[in-house]
Amino acid sequence: EAQVTQNPRYLITVTGKKLTVTCSQNMNHEYMSWYRQDPGLGLRQIYYSMNVEVTDKGDVPEGYKVSRKEKRNFPLILESPSPNQTSLYFCASSGGPATNEKLFFGSGTQLSVL
């Protein structure tokens, strides 16, 4: 089954404790992206990747890091989480540029930073 898998589904942590949210897709997609969803703001792009070793900033990259060492994986790293990073995070992938290709989304990671 074609899917984007995010882990964990829920995460509670404390300020400053490094964490990683994993994202993996099994569709051999080149394009992958991370979004955060906040009430009243919709989805905002954090980082995206056009292919292996190619990443770029989205609208809200501050406080986040990503890596794309292999095609299927695109982890999101918070080196020193802060309470304003409490949010619902989604990973997405598509077979081509996000221009006109359908995005496949993971089920989301609800992060709470205390």
Partner 1 sequence: AQSVTQLGSHVSVSEGALVLLRCNYSSSVPPYLFWYVQYPNQGLQLLLKYTSAATLVKGINGFEAEFKKSETSFHLTKPSAHMSDAAEYFCAVSEGNNDMRFGAGTRLTVKP
Among 11, 43, 52, 77, binds partner 1 (CB under 8 A): 43
Site membership for partner 1, residue 31 (CB under 8 A): yes
Site membership for partner 1, residue 5 (CB under 8 A): no
Dihedral of CA 89/94/98/102: which sign? negative
Site membership for partner 1, residue 89 (CB under 8 A): no
Site membership for partner 1, residue 102 (CB under 8 A): yes
CB 48 within 8 A of CB 32: yes
Planar angle of CA 64, 50, 24, nearest 5 degrees: 65
Of 3 and 73, the one with the shorter C-beta distance to partner 1 is 3
